[in-house]
């Protein structure tokens, strides 16, 4: 059997080659706009030096000389006008007042160890609305009251060595307060917040703050992060009055008692973590009234009761972590719900189990299968390996496409591919040898 269509093959090959070359030449000639900047970088640099926009700022008024002096005392470079944006290290922002401009924002970061905050320098900076310290281990000093009253935003991240609640409480006009990785000594959160009637965003985290949650909170708060402190006591019902609250993180404290049944009054809540406390009781059903929950972390507590079914109805939910609690009963979720989530954790609840005819063991939920009474099949860890291989095939019919773990899919397919390549090359070799033998004869 000789191959009769070689001319046809050549023809086809030629045809496709001309089509491809035509397409590429068309592409090469046509895209004038996207290709020219990449291939010829000349137009961009030539246009920017010729434009005189960089000369514009000097026409605006200069920064108050007293503030220039204050910046110099804080080791902020002033050889260039600190009001021109972006300022060196993004440290300064000015207003547009005349005849002299004033600073409205100052960010001190990575301060040298010999930096000293002087009262006089701070006094001349009383125009500031926003002041932040990041990694500045200077000693805190008493702030001039003009500055304390002027600030609407104060941030201290791993800076100022240690702060007292009374010191912070003087910033009565703050809308944003952030203290993180800096120890704060106060006999309770109320000492700090007592007079801050405009506060919207509160973060005091990793600060070893002691005491309890305040009995009164300002109603306009939308963000509260008091995570990783030493707060004790119950979650107060004052919290549940905050109808604008979108973010609440009370994780890693010593809170105990039950989650208040009024918790569902937090109708704006999106992100919630009460993880790593000593909370007990059940997950309140009232939470089903919070439509916008995105992130729910209640892990590492002593919560009991069943896993509420309403969690499956939360359309925006992305993260659900209930691990290491005392929850029991049958998981009320199906595979499509679990696959929709970015994070789903329920392990470490020894009396929780999943319905084998609803969920595949391939989901690796970290809980045992239920028996027909809805109780976990007795020893979860020892059964895992045998139950796994056994149920994989039997589960296949109810949820064949539950392979949310890509690794498990990847491993076998690689092996199969290698095997196929091996087999086909052997077959090819044999055919080749036979043909060779025939031809040689
Ligand atoms: C033609 O150019 C477009 C975009 O510039 C590209 O997406 C496409 O792959 C090119 N086609 C060929 C045949 O090179
Ligand atoms: C300055 O701040 C702007 C906006 O926040 C940011 O895009 C830019 O990267 C910052 N520049 C420096 C040097 O930090
Ligand atoms: C401060 O130091 C850290 C770590 O050395 C660095 O990543 C950061 O960019 C520095 N920030 C500024 C504003 O220089
Ligand atoms: C800050 O609050 C005080 C009283 O609490 C008020 O007199 C003052 O005008 C406020 N300052 C600013 C800049 O808002
Ligand atoms: C909190 O206290 C612990 C020890 O009690 C200490 O190791 C840790 O550094 C403290 N945190 C801060 C931010 O000071
Ligand atoms: C709370 O916020 C609302 C609307 O955002 C505003 O009208 C009200 O004045 C604020 N209340 C206080 C005490 O700041
Ligand atoms: C809560 O705070 C902890 C510690 O600061 C952090 O690890 C966690 O991601 C936060 N959770 C949420 C929901 O923001
Ligand atoms: C759940 O915990 C609460 C509070 O600790 C307790 O009163 C209740 O009896 C527990 N319920 C179950 C079913 O274990
Ligand atoms: C809220 O949670 C979502 C999902 O985990 C996350 O993407 C988002 O950044 C969180 N928002 C805040 C303010 O932390
Ligand atoms: C999974 O559960 C959700 C919520 O209960 C429901 O809306 C959805 O129809 C269920 N999907 C399947 C495939 O059963
Ligand atoms: C498991 O699900 C099946 C089908 O939905 C149902 O018939 C059975 O009662 C469930 N078993 C348990 C223990 O809930």
Residue 283's pLDDT is 96
Q: Is the dihedral of CA 23, 25, 30, 31 positive or negative?
A: positive
Does ligand 9 have an atom closer than 6 angstroms to the CB of 223?
no
**Atom 13 of ligand 9, nearest CA residue:** 247
**Atom 9 of ligand 10, nearest CA residue:** 336
Strand order in the sheet with 230-233: 210-212, 230-233, 254-258, 278-281, 302-303
Does the global pTM surpass 0.95? no
d(CA 308, CA 371): 20
Q: What is the DSSP string of 297-313?
A: E--SSEE-SBPPGGGGG
CA–centroid distance, 380 to ligand 10, in Å, is 27
**Atom 9 of ligand 11, nearest CA residue:** 372
Residue 316's pLDDT is 93
- Do residues 83 and 63 lie in contact, with contact meaning Cβ atoms separated by under 8 Å? yes
**Atom 3 of ligand 6, nearest CA residue:** 220
Residue 379's pLDDT is 56
- Least confident range from 8-22, 154-168, 210-224, 321-335: namely 8-22
Residue 230's pLDDT is 96
**pLDDT over 70 at 321, yes or no:** yes
d(CA 10, CA 409): 41
Residue 389's pLDDT is 38
Instruction: Give the ligand at the shortest distance from the Cα of 156.
Output: 5
Write the DSSP symbol of residue 376. Answer: B
Residue 411's pLDDT is 44
For the chain, helix, strand, coil in percent to 5 are 35, 20, 45
Residues touching ligand 1 (Cβ under 6 Å) are: 23-24, 27, 31
Residue 64's pLDDT is 82
**pLDDT over 90 at 96, yes or no:** no
Residue 30's pLDDT is 34
The residue among 176, 275, 170, 157 whose CA lies nearest residue 221 is: 176
Q: Once rounded to an integer, what is the mean pLDDT over residues 334-356?
A: 93
Residue 340's pLDDT is 94
**pLDDT over 70 at 273, yes or no:** yes
Q: Once rounded to an integer, what is the mean pLDDT over residues 161-184?
A: 95
Distances (CA, A) of 233 to 164, 225, 285: 21, 17, 22
Q: pLDDT band at 418, cuts 50/70/90?
A: low
Beta strands in 153-213 (DSSP E): 153-157, 163-164, 176-180, 184-185, 201-205, 210-212
Residue 252's pLDDT is 97
pLDDT tens across 54-84, in order?
A: 344 455 788 887 888 888 888 887 777 778 7
Does ligand 7 have an atom closer than 6 angstroms to the CB of 223?
no
Q: pLDDT band at 286, cuts 50/70/90?
A: very high
**Atom 5 of ligand 2, nearest CA residue:** 90
Q: Once rounded to an integer, what is the mean pLDDT over residues 411-417?
A: 57
- Do residues 292 and 264 lie in contact, with contact meaning Cβ atoms separated by under 8 Å? no
Does ligand 8 have an atom closer than 6 angstroms to the CB of 351?
no
**Atom 1 of ligand 5, nearest CA residue:** 208
CA–centroid distance, 251 to ligand 5, in Å, is 16
Q: pLDDT band at 101, cuts 50/70/90?
A: confident
Residue 393's pLDDT is 36
Residue 35's pLDDT is 36
The ligand 4 atom at the shortest distance from the C-alpha of residue 173 is 1
Higher pLDDT, 428 or 211: 211
Residue 413's pLDDT is 58
The ligand 4 atom at the shortest distance from the C-alpha of residue 129 is 13
Tell how far CA 323 is from the center of its chain: 19
Residue 11's pLDDT is 40
The ligand 10 atom at the shortest distance from the C-alpha of residue 333 is 2
The token duo for 67 is 């503030």
Residue whose structure tokens are 């790593």: 276
**Atom 1 of ligand 6, nearest CA residue:** 220
Higher pLDDT, 26 or 159: 159
Does ligand 6 have an atom closer than 6 angstroms to the CB of 243?
no
What average pLDDT does the chain have? Answer: 80
d(CA 169, CA 149): 11
CA–centroid distance, 27 to ligand 1, in Å, is 6
CA–centroid distance, 249 to ligand 7, in Å, is 6
- Least confident range from 76-90, 137-151, 178-192, 274-288: namely 76-90
Residue 416's pLDDT is 62
**Atom 6 of ligand 4, nearest CA residue:** 149
Q: What is the dihedral of CA 260, 262, 267, 269, to 10 degrees?
A: -10
The ligand 5 atom at the shortest distance from the C-alpha of residue 207 is 13
**pLDDT over 60 at 19, yes or no:** no
């Amino acid at each position: 059997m000789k191959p009769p269509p070689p001319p046809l093959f050549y023809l086809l090959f030629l045809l496709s080659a001309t089509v491809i070359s035509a397409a590429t030449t068309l592409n090469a000639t046509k895209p004038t706009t996207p290709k020219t900047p990449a291939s010829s970088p000349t137009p961009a640099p030539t246009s920017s030096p010729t434009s005189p926009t960089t000369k514009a700022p000097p026409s605006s008024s200069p920064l108050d000389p007293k503030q220039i002096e204050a910046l110099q005392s804080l080791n902020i470079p002033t050889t260039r006008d600190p009001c021109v944006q972006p300022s060196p290290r993004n440290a300064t922002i000015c207003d547009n007042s005349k005849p002299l401009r004033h600073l409205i924002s100052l960010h001190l970061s990575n301060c040298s160890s010999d930096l000293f905050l002087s009262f006089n320098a701070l006094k001349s900076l009383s125009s500031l609305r926003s002041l932040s310290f990041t990694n500045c281990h200077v000693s805190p000093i008493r702030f001039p009251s003009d500055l304390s009253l002027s600030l609407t935003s104060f941030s201290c991240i791993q800076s100022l060595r240690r702060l007292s609640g009374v010191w912070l409480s003087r910033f009565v006009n703050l809308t944003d307060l952030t203290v993180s990785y800096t120890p704060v000594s106060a006999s309770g959160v109320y000492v700090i917040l007592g007079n801050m009637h405009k506060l919207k965003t509160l973060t005091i985290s990793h600060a070893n703050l002691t005491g309890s949650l305040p009995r009164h909170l300002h109603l306009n708060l939308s963000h509260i992060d008091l995570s990783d402190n030493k707060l004790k006591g119950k979650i107060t019902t004052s919290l549940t009055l905050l109808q604008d609250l979108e973010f609440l993180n009370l994780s890693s404290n010593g809170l105990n008692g039950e989650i208040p049944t009024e918790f569902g009054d937090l109708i704006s809540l999106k992100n919630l973590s009460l993880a790593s406390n000593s909370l007990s009781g059940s997950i309140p059903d009232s939470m089903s009234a919070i439509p916008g929950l995105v992130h729910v972390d209640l892990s590492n507590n002593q919560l009991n009761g069943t896993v509420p079914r309403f969690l499956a109805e939360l359309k925006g939910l992305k993260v659900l972590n209930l691990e290491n609690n005392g929850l029991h009963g049958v998981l009320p979720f199906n595979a499509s719900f679990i696959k929709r989530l970015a994070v789903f954790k329920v392990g470490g609840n020894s009396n929780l189990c999943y319905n084998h005819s609803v969920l595949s063991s391939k989901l690796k939920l970290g809980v045992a299968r239920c028996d027909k009474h809805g109780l976990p099949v007795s020893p979860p860890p020892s059964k895992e390996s045998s139950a796994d291989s056994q149920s994989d095939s039997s589960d296949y019919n109810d949820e064949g496409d539950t392979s949310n773990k890509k690794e498990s899919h990847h491993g076998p397919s690689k092996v199969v591919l290698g095997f196929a390549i091996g087999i086909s090359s052997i077959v090819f070799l044999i055919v080749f040898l036979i043909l060779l033998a025939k031809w040689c004869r």
